[in-house]
Amino acid sequence: MKLDLKRISVTDGAVIPFSYDADLTKEEMNGEYPFRTPVHIEGEVRNHLGVLRLQASASALYETQCARCLTPVKKDVTAQCSYVLVQEVQEDDRDDMYLIDGQSIELDDIIIPALLLEVDFAYYCKPDCKGLCPKCGKNLNEGPCGCSTREIDSRLAVLQKLLDKDD
């Protein structure tokens, strides 16, 4: 969403509120398209003594798979943004400044990256998820699979054959 700042840049105390939904259904992350519903963005740009400050929040439902057992997981992801909008680089390089060109800003260019940075690398269906059996692929949260949990080092497999002959 493009926001025109001309009308508030000259009036102290002026505010431009905004609230809209952004479509991120085509945004690929880790081989998936996790944003299946619109991302809600709201906030305001306020002129305070000639300084324009952007404050915004974005919230979305992130749909993915558990990193251990591959069951579907839905998580709420939110991001907060607060920037001072400047037209030239200041000497003190602060993180809360956003350089604008002209009298308008594209809100998606500021807020969507902040939301994407809030997404965790991996999500789990529950904190104690047991995952999948590495041999048969059964979901171990549903119960044991019956596979042998005994692992033999391949370098010692010859010795195991000697023990099996004694039985």
Domain positions in the chain: 2-129, 130-167
Would the pLDDT of 167 be above 60? no
Q: What is the rounded CA–CA span in Å between residue 34 and residue 37?
A: 9
Segment 51-87, tens digit of pLDDT: 889 999 999 999 999 999 999 999 999 999 998 887 7
Going by pLDDT thresholds of 50, 70 and 90, the confidence category of residue 93 is low
- Strand order, beta sheet including 39-48: 15-22, 39-48, 51-65, 72-86, 97-99
Using DSSP's 3-state secondary structure scheme, residue 116 falls into helix
Q: Which two tokens stand for residue 114?
A: 């902040």
Would the pLDDT of 88 be above 60? yes
For 140, list phi and psi in degrees, rounded to 5.
-75, -10
Bridge partners of residue 152, in order along the sequence: none
Going by pLDDT thresholds of 50, 70 and 90, the confidence category of residue 21 is very high
Q: What is the rounded CA–CA span in Å between residue 22 and residue 54?
A: 18
| Structure-token match 């919230």, residue found | 59
**DSSP category for residue 164:** H
